[in-house]
Amino acid sequence: MTSSLMLRSLSTKMALAVLVLLSSSAFAAHEPLPPELLQAKTVNIQNYSGQASWADGCYDELQKWGRFKIVSNPKDADLIFRLSYRVQRGRATIDIIQTSNHRMLWSDTRIWSVKSVVKELQGRIREEESAGR
Amino acid sequence: MKKLILAVLVLFSISAFAGHAPLPTELMQAKTVYIQNDGAPTSDLRVCTEELNKWGRFTVVSNPKDADVIFRLNFRIENGGYRVTSYGVSSTMNALKTITVLQRSTGNILWTDTRAAKLFGSPTKAVVNELRKRVEEQEKTDGKSK
């Protein structure tokens, strides 16, 4: 085998290994969500981000999803969706807090997008429910 | 091609008129406001008072204990990244003005928004006007649903 053929074969194998690694990480199992999050019915959005549009985006995405009833009074909510802005430029975080005991149930951060955090949560809940956990 | 342009226009118009998150009842029912300066220039305090008086919805009070809601004015400088020009690379800074509306009795955040300072126009004025627009919009919607 010539050296160029050997190199080509090696690079094909490496590309294959990278693809396998990427696909396995994409389907890696997630930590199970707390039952309080899965059983929650009502949500209050608290916007600590300083950006009105982020509350709009979160509200819009939750409305589209339709899983939770959005309430204006935190006392009526099972969960608080707390939106915040991280020091690094444009990082949107949603912390989900259980209202009754202030325990943090779930949190995620994305660049500039509150909507994609809600979508991530939606995906995880769907995944967990379809797995019948 | 025409269809593509039409689709883009429709998408833009949908995003432009996308709904706002409803304002909390405590904000809609508030009558009195205390303006708290949390590091903003005093000129912002003046602009905020002027805009609220012009609007006429709230009475601005001098004692926070008499207020239903607190308008907290904040100012921060943020790194706006780098600008590459033919002369070289320079860093840019954004001066950001935030108004956070809090319920006085609970400290809960009822609404918040931020604008960057520009050469013309006051960001504080723009935030107060944004709130005004949203309050009026919600009153219309609430009026329709009754």
What chain B holds in terms of domains, given with CATH numbers, is 22-145 (3.30.160)
Residue A105 near residue A86 (C-beta atoms within 8 A): no
| CA–CA gap between residue B61 and residue B70 (Å, rounded) | 10
Query: Helix A52-65 crosses helix A114-130 at what angle (to 10 degrees)?
Result: 30
Model confidence at A85, in pLDDT bands (50, 70, 90)? confident
- Number of A/B CB contacts below 8 angstroms equals 53
The per-residue pLDDT for range A28-67, each reduced to its tens digit, is 678 899 999 999 999 999 999 999 999 999 999 999 999 9
- What residues 27-86 of chain B have any CB closer than 8 A to a CB of chain A? 74, 78-79, 81
* CATH class, range A35-130: alpha beta
User: According to the model, what pLDDT value does residue A12 have?
Assistant: 72
Q: Which residue of A has its CA nearest to B28?
A: A72
pTM of the model: 0.76
Model confidence at B81, in pLDDT bands (50, 70, 90)? low
**At a CB cut-off of 8 Å and minimum separation 6, what does B53 contact?**
B60
Mutate to test the interface with B, among A43, A44, A48, A53 (most CBs of B within 10 A): A53
| CA–CA gap between residue B124 and residue B51 (Å, rounded) | 9
- B96 burial (CB, 10 Å; 0-12 / 13-18 / 19+) is middle
Domain extent listing, chain A: 35-130
Model confidence at A5, in pLDDT bands (50, 70, 90)? low
Alpha-carbon distances, residue B37 vs B17, B44, B49, B102 (angstroms): 33, 9, 11, 13
ipTM value, please give it.
Answer: 0.73
| Separation in Å, CA of A112 to nearest CA in chain B | 14
User: According to the model, what pLDDT value does residue B11 have?
Assistant: 47
Of the candidates B19, B108, B114, the beta carbon closest to that of A60 is on B19
| CA–CA gap between residue B94 and residue A67 (Å, rounded) | 38
Contact check, Cβ <8 Å, A89/B79: yes
Contact check, Cβ <8 Å, A50/B98: yes
Q: Which residue of B has its CA nearest to A45?
A: B21
